[in-house]
């Protein structure tokens, strides 16, 4: 089974092509045939965060070129003609994409794929819709089913891949039950996984997501978007100082929820106080970045281990953009080893948004959607 997958939930325009042997029900190995990710992050940087209307416009401008590149990478781009699907909606909503798609279909025959997978949510609805509209048009033109994928499930499954390199990969098979820590720009969740495909959310943030906190604190420290890698880079050069301390929100709350909005506010006041005291300089800034990163890491690690013990997990899966954070990775490694838990984290190249993870989720559950597909900005992993 070969799947072409589309991801446009945030500011990455991504298309991948993945396959598994037809004999495998749940895949134990897959082949990555194409993996194209076009990041818009630089374009959003001047807004200090993702600007939904810009994300939508960029997806619409770039999806068909990314599609062409992905098919070429997989050796599936063949000259020919495909009958045009109904594009009335796309002509109205994304005229530029409709024109590019018309040109593409007029010049290429249908590729040898079995289904089109697309992220239905969660994410920014205007951005999700662009990918969904392309998926619908391709599915109709190529006469293939659509598989609707949950973006967070994609993140979870991405941890089973050892790399994003083209070619065949054996999937890591963590011992179940597992506990997943999902940390991205929009989500911070602890999810119990008794079996593949069964997800139960046992905790989540009450306000800002961990990645959002990194991005907001980056702004307070005059660092560009996306803030996570920038704060982390700065923190790596910082030294702890007694006069710079931040709270560890909800560390001992007794549940599995998080809250990062107060931590961000504490950074704002700390920066203000240090500036007013005339002691705000580059060294102080690195110390604040370090203290913030340590605060977030400590809360995430402690609660993840507690949650894993609570559900009797044998393994911990970590996924989402913030799982690229080196301190979080190394602290989790230590804590998981101490608790005798297997730790599975995606390689850095798969931590942030991509379409491989969407294709992988579709290979795990290739059930076509039976109703008209709609974007679901708040689609929970356990609904």
- The string of DSSP codes covering 283-317 is HHHHHHHHHHHHHHHHHHHHHHHHHHHHTT-SEEE
Both tokens assigned to 339: 């608790």
Smallest separation (angstroms) from ligand KG4 to the CB of 28: 26
Site string for ligand KG4, 180-219 (x = CB under 6 A): ----xxx------------------------xx-xx----
Distance CA 63, CA 244 (A): 46
Cα 277 to its chain centre, rounded Å, is: 40
Closest residue to Zn ion, judged by C-beta, is: 184
Taking the complex as a whole, how short is the minimal distance between the CB of residue 65 and ligand KG4, in angstroms? 21
Give the three-class secondary structure for 33.
Answer: strand
**By CB neighbour count within 10 A (0-12 exposed, 13-18 middle, 19+ buried), where does 222 fall?**
exposed
Buried b or exposed e, range 301-312, using 16+ CB within 10 angstroms: bbbbbbbbeebe
Q: Which of 352, 363, 364, 375 binds ligand KG4 (CB under 6 A)?
A: 352
Q: How far is the CB of 353 from Zn ion (least distance, A)?
A: 4
State phi, psi for 365 to the nearest 5 degrees: -135, 85
Tokens of 133: 């509209």
Q: Could you give the string, one character per residue 172-201, with x where binding to Zn ion holds by CB under 5 A and - elsewhere?
A: ------------x-----------------
Count of positions on this chain that bind ligand KG4 (CB under 6 A): 20
Minimum distance from residue 366 beta carbon to ligand KG4 (Å): 23
* Using rule CB under 6 A, residue 7 touches ligand KG4: no
Which of residues 174 and 321 has its CB atom nearest to ligand KG4 in the complex? 321
> Mask: binding to ligand KG4, 219-258, rule CB under 6 A, as x and -?
-------xxxx--x--------------------------
Rule CB under 5 A: is residue 353 a binding residue for Zn ion? yes
Side by side, which strands form the sheet with 2-7?
146-150, 115-121, 2-7, 12-19, 29-39, 167-170
Give 236's DSSP letter: T
> Residue 180, CB half-sphere, CA atoms under 13 Å: how many?
33
> Which one of 27-35, 107-115, 346-354, 366-374 is the stretch in contact with Zn ion (CB under 5 A)?
346-354
Closer to ligand KG4 by CB, 74 or 217: give it: 217
Sign of the alpha-carbon torsion through 66, 153, 323, 375: positive
Q: Does 154 bind ligand KG4 (CB under 6 A)?
A: no
Q: Is 325 in the site for ligand KG4 (CB under 6 A)?
A: yes
Residue (174 or 226) nearer to ligand KG4, CB: 226
DSSP H or E segment with residue 2:
strand 2-7
346 binds ligand KG4 (CB under 6 A): no
Binding region for Zn ion (CB under 5 A) out of 76-84, 237-245, 350-358, 361-369? 350-358
Interaction site with ligand KG4 (CB under 6 A)? 10, 184-186, 211-212, 214-215, 226-229, 232, 320-322, 324-325, 352-353
**Contact positions toward Zn ion, by CB under 5 A?**
184, 353
């Amino acid at each position: 089974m070969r799947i072409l997958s589309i991801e446009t939930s945030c500011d990455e325009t991504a298309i991948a092509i993945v396959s598994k042997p037809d004999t495998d029900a749940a895949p134990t190995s897959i082949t990555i045939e194409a993996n194209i990710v076009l990041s818009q992050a630089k374009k959003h940087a001047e807004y200090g965060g993702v600007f939904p209307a810009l994300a939508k416009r960029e997806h619409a401008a770039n999806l068909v070129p990314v599609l062409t590149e992905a098919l070429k990478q997989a050796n599936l781009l063949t000259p020919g003609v495909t009958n045009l699907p109904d594009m009335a909606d796309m002509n109205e909503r994304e005229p530029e994409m409709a024109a590019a798609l018309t040109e593409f279909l007029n010049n290429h025959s249908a590729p040898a794929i079995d289904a089109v997978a697309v992220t239905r949510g969660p994410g920014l609805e205007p951005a999700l819709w662009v990918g969904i509209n392309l998926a619908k048009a391709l599915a109709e033109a190529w006469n293939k089913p659509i598989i609707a994928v949950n973006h967070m499930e994609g993140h979870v499954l991405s941890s089973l891949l050892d790399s994003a390199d083209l070619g065949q990969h054996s999937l890591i098979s963590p011992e179940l039950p597992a506990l997943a820590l999902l940390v991205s720009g929009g989500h911070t969740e602890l999810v119990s996984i008794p079996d593949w495909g069964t997800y139960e959310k046992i905790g989540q943030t009450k306000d800002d997501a961990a990645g959002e906190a990194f991005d907001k604190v980056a702004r307070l420290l005059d660092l560009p978007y996306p803030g996570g890698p920038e704060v982390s880079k700065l923190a790596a050069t910082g030294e702890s100082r007694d006069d710079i301390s931040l709270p560890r929100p909800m560390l001992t709350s007794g549940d599995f929820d998080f809250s990062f909005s107060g931590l961000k506010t504490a950074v704002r006041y700390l920066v203000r106080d240090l500036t007013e005291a005339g002691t705000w300089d580059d060294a102080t800034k690195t110390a604040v970045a370090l203290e913030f990163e340590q605060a977030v890491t400590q809360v995430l690690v402690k609660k993840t281990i507690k949650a894993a013990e609570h559900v009797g997990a044998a393994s911990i899966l970590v996924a989402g953009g913030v799982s690229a954070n080196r301190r979080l990775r190394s602290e989790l490694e230590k804590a998981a080893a101490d608790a005798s838990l297997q730790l599975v984290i995606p390689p850095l190249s798969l931590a942030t948004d991509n379409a491989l993870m969407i294709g992988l989720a579709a290979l795990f559950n290739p059930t076509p959607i039976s109703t008209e597909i709609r974007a679901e900005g708040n689609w929970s992993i356990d609904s």
